[in-house]
Amino acid sequence: MTQAVSDRLRRRRAGVLLHVTSLPGGHGCGDLGPQARRFADFLAEAGQAWWQTLPVGPVGAANSPYSSPSSFAGNAWLISLEDLVEDGLLEPADLAGEAAFTSGRVDYAAMRAFKGPRLRKAFAAFTKTGSPSLWAGFLAFLRQQQDWVEDYATFRALKRHYGDERSWTSWEPAVRARRFRSWPRDLLQAIGQEQSYRQFEQFLFARQWERLRDYAARRGVGLIGDVPIFVAHESADVWAHAELFQLDSQGRPTVVAGVPPDYFSADGQLWGNPHYRWGLLKERGYDWWLSRLGTAAQRFDAVRLDHFIGFENYWEIPACAKTAREGRWVGGPGADFLERARRALPQLELIAEDLGCVTPAVVALRERFDFPGMRVMQFAFGADRQAESFLPRNYPKRTVAYTGTHDNDTTVGWYNDSGAAPGARSLEQIETERHKARVYLSCDGSDIAWDMIAAIFRSQADTVLVPVQDLLSLGSQARMNRPGTVTGNWEWRLRQPLDEPLARRLARLTEESGRFGETDVRQDDRSAAHARS
């Protein structure tokens, strides 16, 4: 009998945080092909039970995975060209050109210029000579994902037709409002081929993702995903379900999301996402949200609910505001929504990203549903009154512990911060935190990343997850994201696969700390789960 996923996050286990784009190879960007399988091999050899990624949807503004044009679709740039050769949709000669990507970072413009024509060539081959099995898989995919895939494909086709820089709110009224019977025939003809191509992209992504998930399962590795609480305004979600968001008559947000001043920004963070009409969602049984989580459950074994605080209360900012300081707290859907989600998806384990303005009400909501919360060790040495809770000696057992996250500097970068760049920490604060860290860890700071890794591994937290940058003791140049900035983020990637000495070192610590258990993900369990989905 298949074990409930919730039982797996109660086991004493460990894993690694690495976004797929950060893998080496892949023609300018990491993908779902050979290097992803090789990373799953590394995790298995190192005794790791989990691989956590960032959101895997199409990237949006500033290439952020947290600002996607769809909460359901997959990122087509993660499709492996090597695997398309195996499927007979490309020729080996189509792969030539990886050597041209020499920057060591994700070059989004060059990657798109290289992969885009090849993905379209694969589509042309599929439409002309695709095998019966591929066609059967494609048609089955369209049936299974009909709740979202046609809306997404139509939205992307319209964006290409009108211009990607043009907001959907400026389209003709009939198109903006989705009055399909009033659409001109020439528009339908103009976007038809592009709609089919976008559906084909999603089929390829789903096919390759399932292949990777099955491979990881055979190696004993589960996948943890990330579901942002908010969605981008320039998305198929908002266009197709405008009634679910707080918009004006032209489709523009009236209030937007963000957070008040915090550790990352003195002015707070003005994200700009439209807020939900939670009252209407409740009347509809939270159908859109449950469908969204159901899609996540098809891809992942557990999911981090980003900005969990927003389900209890969220920061509402007038759309005309210049900074997030002008916002106010508004009550969220709370237990009513989470109870519906648990009943609908009992097999999906949820992790509460409960960082930030954590009130007693937020804690009570998380504890009511027994979701593991998060602890980030980099926060343990500040002057904040909550800092003590981030020390490993104070971690509750039902916790997912990190040295840092994608929004933090790397641990080495955090420790060696000069205080010269604009930020929330003064040089005096940095020196104080360094001293506290050395005292707590009984170390001299020369191997600070691994000293902190060892500390969270030896804590009583059920789950520990380490950014791969910390495993490699990399500095600030390897940072993934700087909240409040819009350039230079989401570009870091591994230059080469992780090696055996690193796997052995991680395996020793995993075993010493009692986190090296029996295989948690079995292929027979995955097959049974897939058959039910």
| CA–CA distance, 525 with 191 (Å, rounded to integer) | 41
Which amino acid is present at 228?
P
Angle, helices 334-344 vs 360-368, to 10°: value is: 20
What does the buried/exposed string (b/e) look like for 348-387 if buried means 16 or more CB atoms within 10 Å of the residue's CB?
Answer: bbbbbbbbbebeeebeebbeeeebbbbbbbbbbbbeeeee
Within 8 A by CB and 6+ apart from 136, the residues are none
CA gap 489, 213 in Å, rounded: 27
| Virtual torsion, Cα 255, 259, 264, 267, nearest 10 deg | 60
Q: Tokens for 74, please give them.
A: 């997959």
3-state secondary structure 277-343: CHHHHHHCCCHHHHHHHHHHHHHCCEEEECCCHHHHEEEEEECCCCCHHHCEEEECCHHHHHHHHHH
So which residues are the catalytic ones? 306, 353, 407
CB 64 within 8 A of CB 482: no
In degrees, rounded to 5, the angle at the alpha carbon of residue 205 between the alpha carbons of residues 199 and 207 is 100
Angstrom distance (rounded) from CA 89 to CA 467:
35
Alpha-carbon gap, residue 367 to 375, rounded angstroms: 15
The residues, any chain, with a CB within 8 Å of residue 325's CB and separated by 6 or more, are 260, 261, 267, 268
How far apart, in Å, are the Cα atoms of 30 and each of 47, 95, 104, 206, 346? Answer: 23, 14, 11, 16, 32
- Specify the 3-state DSSP secondary structure of 134: helix
Give SS3 for 188: helix
- Which residue's structure tokens are 């075993």? 511
Give 383-390's long-range contacts (Cβ < 8 A, gap of 24+). 383/429, 383/432, 384/263, 386/358
Residue 283 to residue 243: CA distance in whole angstroms = 12
Helix/strand/coil for 51 = strand
Question: Residue 45: which residues within 8 A CB-CB, separation 6 or more?
Answer: 500, 503, 507
